[in-house]
Structure 1
Amino acid sequence: MTALSASLFAADPLRLSEEIEAVAAYVESFHLDIMDGVFAPEFGLSGRLIGDLARVTNRPLDVHLMVSDPRSAIVRYAELGVRSIAVHIEGEADFAEAAAIVRSNGGRLLAAIRHTTPVARLDEVAESVDGILFMTAPLGGGAFDDTAFIRLAERPRHLPTTVDGRIEAGHFQLLTGLGVDLAVMGAALFAGGRAGEQARLYADQLAGQGLASGAAC
């Protein structure tokens, strides 16, 4: 594993700018959840927020679409200049076309997969995408999936892999052994109002394993 990404959906919305500033030096990127209350049982961040963030941060932005109509959302968020857009294999029919839209705007397309979807589904889109967003907990929140490490071992190993869902420091070693490139941290990072301290601690733990928390995935 080479990097950490901060999931801003887990940050305190009343102190969002402070939380972003507190963790920015210790994370490689910001992870941005877009939810419509249908595909996922929550409502996520707004396009306006992401557009504003893209203008003021030097950290890459990775968008995770959890929406029932991904195609229109792909176009909208690709035009904001984000680094990547993750689209669920459970909701998008044509990944080749989706990839063309994202790449034409300078971004990368990731295939996102729910924690309950057979991993073999990724083989269907592996040649069309630039990476994988592997969910290790239910969309919108929930407990860590106990089968996550077994499932990760079954994924197409040639694709850069991001993991997202209740990731904690105790998972780092196993994730590293499985060749995971980027770990998204939300609740573990922002809970308790000490995001900066937590981010520094996790960065130090990665460095202690001989890994660089600021490297690009």
Structure 2
Amino acid sequence: MSAVRIAPSILSADFARLGEEIRAIDAAGADWIHVDVMDGHFVPNITIGPGVVKALRKHTAKPFDVHLMIAPVDPFLQAFAEAGADCISVHPESGPHLHRTLQTIKALGKRAGVVLNPGTPVDVIDHVMDLVDLVLVMSVNPGFGGQKFIESQLPKITELRRRIDASGRAIDLEVDGGVDRSNAARVIAAGADALVAGTATFEGGPSRYADNIAALRGL
């Protein structure tokens, strides 16, 4: 398995300085930039839309890992693709036809991800594996940053790692929610190869970002 990728979630960044924050985490060693999009409907919070993603795109060449927590999701896929998303991840619950949604993302030339909430079973991905580039396990319920890691998701990560390896496809296994230096090693040991970290990356301000990212990698 390749070295773990760190994807700082800009949900925990200073929203008054988002461009500067993205440049800072890029310089600090982030692999991807995780963009949490919430609509106040599918989840109880509202964050940003494609216009902000487009404005931020010029601040880094790192991949934009865009997690859409919106419903219905299909009408917005093209807008986020055109705004500069590199990977677009969706929840099975955010539209009636997951397979069609993933086909659309791929047709837009983007990597496609499926997001599993804590209560979403792993079987959801079984018949769409041929379209999936990333599986994102939510280790908190989506909608807010700063939540506590749900321990019951560790066996789910392990089972997904087994299924991904058995598929023979190069699918990233990402984990998002409450990941910090106290549990990152266990999450990686369970099979994750990408970690989303908001609070754990941005705490302490820009002078701490490189150390925070290194700690998540276990360095």
C-alpha RMSD over aligned residues: 1.9
* Pairs within 5 Å for 1:191-202: 191-192=203-204, 194-202=205-213
Contact kept in structure 1, 2:181 and 2:215, CA below 8 Å? no
Letter in 1 for 2:13: A
Q: Hey, what's the Cα distance between the residues in 2 that align with 1:11 and 1:126?
A: 33
Deviation larger for 29-38 or 9-18: 9-18
Aligned residues: 207
Letter in 2 for 1:111: V
Match for residue 4 of structure 1 among 3, 6, 15: 6
Structure 1 runs (4+) greater than 3 angstroms displaced:
none
- Distance change in 2, residues 1:207/1:191 (3 Å): closer
Q: Hey, what's the Cα distance between the residues in 2 that align with 1:183 and 1:134?
A: 10
Query: Residue 151 of structure 2 aligns with which residue?
Result: 146
- SS in structure 2 of the partner of residue 120 of structure 1: helix
- SS in structure 2 of the partner of residue 154 of structure 1: helix
Letter in 1 for 2:102: A
Deviation larger for 84-93 or 152-161: 152-161
Query: Residue 177 of structure 1 aligns with which residue?
Result: 189
- SS in structure 2 of the partner of residue 85 of structure 1: strand
Normalised to the residue count of structure 2, the TM-score between the two structures is: 0.86
Contact kept in structure 2, 1:81 and 1:105, CA below 8 Å? no
Q: Which runs of 5+ in 2 are unaligned?
A: 166-170
Normalised to the residue count of structure 1, the TM-score between the two structures is: 0.86
Query: Residue 90 of structure 1 aligns with which residue?
Result: 93
Q: Hey, what's the Cα distance between the residues in 1 that align with 2:109 and 2:20?
A: 29
* Pairs within 5 Å for 1:10-89: 10-25=12-27, 26-89=29-92
C-alpha deviation, 1:82, in angstroms = 1.5
Letter in 2 for 1:148: Q
Q: Which runs of 5+ in 1 are unaligned?
A: 209-217
Query: Residue 214 of structure 1 aligns with which residue?
Result: none
- SS in structure 1 of the partner of residue 106 of structure 2: helix
Deviation larger for 81-90 or 156-165: 156-165
Query: Residue 212 of structure 1 aligns with which residue?
Result: none
Contact kept in structure 2, 1:189 and 1:195, CA below 8 Å? no
Contact kept in structure 2, 1:23 and 1:196, CA below 8 Å? no
C-alpha deviation, 1:207, in angstroms = 6.2
- SS in structure 1 of the partner of residue 42 of structure 2: coil
Contact kept in structure 1, 2:105 and 2:111, CA below 8 Å? yes
Query: Residue 118 of structure 1 aligns with which residue?
Result: 121
Letter in 1 for 2:213: Y
- SS in structure 2 of the partner of residue 38 of structure 1: coil
Letter in 2 for 1:106: G
Q: Hey, what's the Cα distance between the residues in 1 that align with 2:83 and 2:32?
A: 16
Contact kept in structure 2, 1:81 and 1:106, CA below 8 Å? no
Identity %: 28
C-alpha deviation, 1:107, in angstroms = 0.9
1:137 aligns with 2:144: no
- Distance change in 2, residues 1:202/1:176 (3 Å): same
